[in-house]
Structure 1
Amino acid sequence: MHKLTTSRRALLAGIAALPAATLLPRIAHAASGKVRIVMKDLLTSNPEDVAHIERIQAALAERGHDITLEIVDLPSEGYAEKLNLMLLSGDIPDLIYFQGGDEQISSQGVLRDLNPLIAETEYLADALWPHNEARMANYPYLMYVYPPRTKAPVMRADLLAATGMDAPTDLDGWDVMLRAIPGTALDGTPVTHGIITPNNTAEMDAVFDPAFGVTSTWMKNDAGEWISSRVSDAEREKLRWYASLYADGTLDPEFITSNWEVKEDKFYTGQVGVVMGTAGPVVGIYEAKMAQVNPGAELMLLTPPAGIQAIDVSKESRGFAIPVTTENTDAVMAFLDFIASPEGQFFDRLGFEGTHYTRDGDTLTATDRFGEWYPRFIITDPSVYTPPLSALSPLAQASLDQGVEYFRPDNSFVFPPELAASVDAAESFYRTAVFRFVSGETSVEDDWDAFVDGWMAEGGAEMTDYARTVLG
């Protein structure tokens, strides 16, 4: 395997050949040039991808731009590794979609700071969601204009009715409702467990952290010192509650060996009452599948007891980047700005007339293939643009709105590469210890101090020392 410094040499060799003016680009009124785009699942073998790119190019021409758009094919399987190999070979597209691996590239100084470029745009600057702005302030090399990937709790409405309870609004209400679900009958069959969280407690944490005072990744202790929330008193209280749910069967005891597929199957078949789904399309999938498996069953969105977990704004985990070798930065930005415009959003979010929707005058109607289309590039903040048709059901849209309503930025940050081993070791130790606490193998009363000492020894001490230099 080549080292990334090879990529830096290849890229910097390209920089040396560029006119000085291209190093400090400014978006011109009319842009020109070729824009080569590499993106996971954007392929010339997909006729709709090709047609989509062609109509965007035509729309740009109507606006006075002379831009040629070209799809760079890269297999979806193993995309991140194949992208890295392509970049190392010196084949550097103009617009690159990263799904991991970008930090190694950006640390070589070969990705542009996107903030000054976005600031000059007509539409894109306003299209960013609050979490996008926060992430790009911390890490300006990736742009991913999509809603935050928050978790939303859902359950069958008839199950709640069968418990005889109202929807919970606080932690006490949640506790009573979850414990009431096991044994409550649905379609004549008792539900076995109240809730499940696949593989670890992360999905429950996303909904219940704030209710216990776990408000951010780093919190201050009684002495006013920054500590990880993993070893806070608030975390201890949360795990005590999880353990009580596990002990009486409210929390499915098989959660640790259940992946997302098992979780969903247990939900659809009435073995568990409450699950958390990724807000938006995933909640919509749960809704549709539940109705398919149980005709007439309707899902309802539940309100988290105290908001949702703070959102990581240290950086985008995926998104688009522009390498410094790009000769046509103005053309790249003209392309992105068009996608963020009302016309571009109409294209990118609704698909093709006659295939995904029909038009009768000013009235658009979704076809049965509307759900097959998905936005390729951008979903703008809804305060900027709302499409006339939405692929989301009211429930799925409400789950997205819930994430926006409760958005709070976290104070997490990116650790330097030299601490990567410490971060991994501390997280592995934490996850193992959490299951032992929740399952009753150990006790938060008797074994908490040993857990804190162990976490610190497994890399937590180095993480904490670094955090205190960052957070002050």
Structure 2
Amino acid sequence: MLGVILLGLFAVLLVACSDKAEEEAIEPEVTEDGKTVITIAYKDDGPSSEASVKYYDALEAALKEHRDLDVEFNIVEIAQGDYAEKLNLLLYSGEIPDLIYFQGSDEQIAAQGLLEDLTPYIKDSEYLKDILYEHNATRLDNYPYLLWVKPINHKVPVVRTDFLEQLTTSESLLADPTVENYQAFFKELVDKGLSEYGITVAGDIAELDFIFNRAFGVTSTWLEDGTGGYVYKKVSDAEKEKLAFYAELYAGGLLDNQYLTKQWDVKEDDFYNNKAGVIVGTNGKVIDLYNTRTKAVNGDSAELTVLPSAAGVSSGYAATSVTKEPRGLAISSQSPNKGIAFEILDFLASPEGMELDLLGYEGEHYKIENGEVVLTDKFYSEWFSRFWEPQTVTLDTPLSSETPLLSPPGQASTDAVVDTYVADNDFTIPEEYISQWDAMENLYKEFAADIITGKVSIDEFDAFVEEWYGAGGEDITKLANETVK
């Protein structure tokens, strides 16, 4: 019933906004000194944030200097709490910003025609079309309303380099990262007293899956069943083998026995304090932060090494969903400033735009020395790119090799994920199946936890599969076999 009410509200909102756009299309909002007002809604940004105001002031100045574009940003204050929920309340009210950052709940908005199709804009762009990752292009083909030019957001395992150098199993693991070699590596970490357990994760096995899924043959969301059809990965024979392996790690004290209740901050502290030999973190900036903190606690010799994904049936950190961007920037279809809004996004992909968005403020986050950009400690401790992070960075002034955007481990983690990229074959679950799907996923999580912790024998896997199909799996699997190409 709530969904029907919301769709009704959206329909009313669409008509109201369309009428308003027709009235304002010729006369967009302009300040007294002739600047076009661009309203933007962005998570964690607002007029009450000094850092946000400073950034958008700097962006205004850069747009004026390099593009002769006179704009004034009106930063929307989003109420604290669940961002997607609070953003939707703003949109329900009829206030539709020109530029909108979504982190969920965008599909209902797009379905009502309130988001602009970005395809023609990107095709005609000067810079953006050249910095897209492969997964960006595929996601835009499937869902052309959100843009998020960032590396794939995957997880990779890392270990202290000084630990790696003390283990006899390291060479075998790096040369041939089989499941067996990973297990031997974890065991030697513990046996030599370098850590209490081999690896820690927070709350569930999702982080482990980035390492081991593809090695066991869990290579996509829907696996070929040998008869020309598809079976869901979590009820497959490959999943059964993987869970049995995790249970073995747990029983041997190699997987943190407190992983089910462990919070992310405790997980990280356990790694810094050498309770865990291996930690899994998001590639890029997060691995960068792990590296900085680990060296601060344990010395420079503790610099991190990125470990390869396990190899077996296949290899690679994870298949990447390409149904749509899970987050990103959108342009309102009702905006009278659509062209200017996209011009801003394109500028941020230019050398001049990257200078601000990637590097921060000259004299604060970087200096120019001997014709090169030298990043400061403040850059590494506080700066982040609000918009794009292309794989190849083009700047008018070259970046010093002594101060790269990412530390060697941070860059290695991103390179490893990009190099092992493969598209998933998942699809968006229709709304009428969502409650069933959630129940099925919860059933799996409970069963997987019981298997790994030894409460239930792996021999009960077939009973779980039968229960999963009875809880809605039959309908979802039928849909998948009609949908997956």
TM-score by length of 2: 0.89
Q: Percent identity?
A: 40
Distance 1:407 1:21, change over 3 A: farther
Letter in 2 for 1:374: F
Q: In the alignment, what sits opposite 1:15?
A: 18
Give the counterpart letter for 2:19 in structure 1. Answer: A
Q: How do 1:45-444 residues align onto structure 2 when only pairs under 5 Å count?
A: 45-62=48-65, 63-167=67-171, 168=173, 169-171=176-178, 172-186=180-194, 191-296=195-300, 297-305=302-310, 306-371=315-380, 372-382=382-392, 388=399, 390-444=404-458
**Deviations 1:152-177, CA, capped at 9 Å, x for gaps:** 11111222233323241321321221
Change (3 A) 1:121 1:22: farther
Q: After alignment, is 200-209 or 101-110 more displaced?
A: 101-110
Residue range with higher mean Cα deviation, 269-278 or 45-54? 45-54
2:475 corresponds to which of 445, 452, 462: 462
C-alpha displacement of 1:36: 0.8
Deviation at 1:76, TM superposition (A): 4.8
Structure 2 gaps, min length 5: 27-34
Q: Is the 8 A contact 1:178 1:194 kept in 2?
A: yes
Q: Which amino acid aligns with 1:180?
A: E
Contact 1:8 1:110 (8 Å CA) reproduced? no
1:417-445 deviation digits (Å, cap 9, x = unpaired):
1111111011101111111111222222x
Task: Tell whether the 8 Å contact from 1:212 to 1:234 is kept in structure 2 after alignment.
Answer: yes
After superposition, the C-alpha distances for 1:302-347 in whole angstroms (9 at most, x for unaligned) are: 1112211101112111111122211111011111010111110111
Amino acid at match of 1:373: W
- For the aligned residue pairs, the C-alpha RMSD in angstroms reads 2.3
CA–CA separation in structure 2 for the residues paired with 1:332 and 1:4? 27
Q: Deviations over 1:129-158 (max 9, x none)?
A: 111112122222111111111111111122
Contact 1:150 1:279 in 2 (8 A): yes
Shift of 1:264: 1.2
**Residues 136, 142 of structure 1: 8 Å contact kept:** yes
Residue correspondences, number: 460
**What SS does the aligned partner of 2:281 have?**
strand
Of 413-422 and 377-386, deviating more is 377-386
Letter in 1 for 2:374: T
**Aligned 8 A contact 1:4 1:88 in 2:** no
Instruction: Give the distance between the partners of 1:48 and 1:196, measured in 2 at CA.
Output: 35
Residue 72 of structure 1 deviates from its aligned partner by 1.8
Instruction: Go from structure 1 to structure 2 and tell me whether the alpha carbon gap of 1:385 and 1:231 turns closer, same or farther (over 3 Å shift).
Output: farther
**How far does the alpha carbon of each residue in 1:203-223 deviate from its partner, in whole angstroms, 9 at most, with x for none?**
010111111111100011122
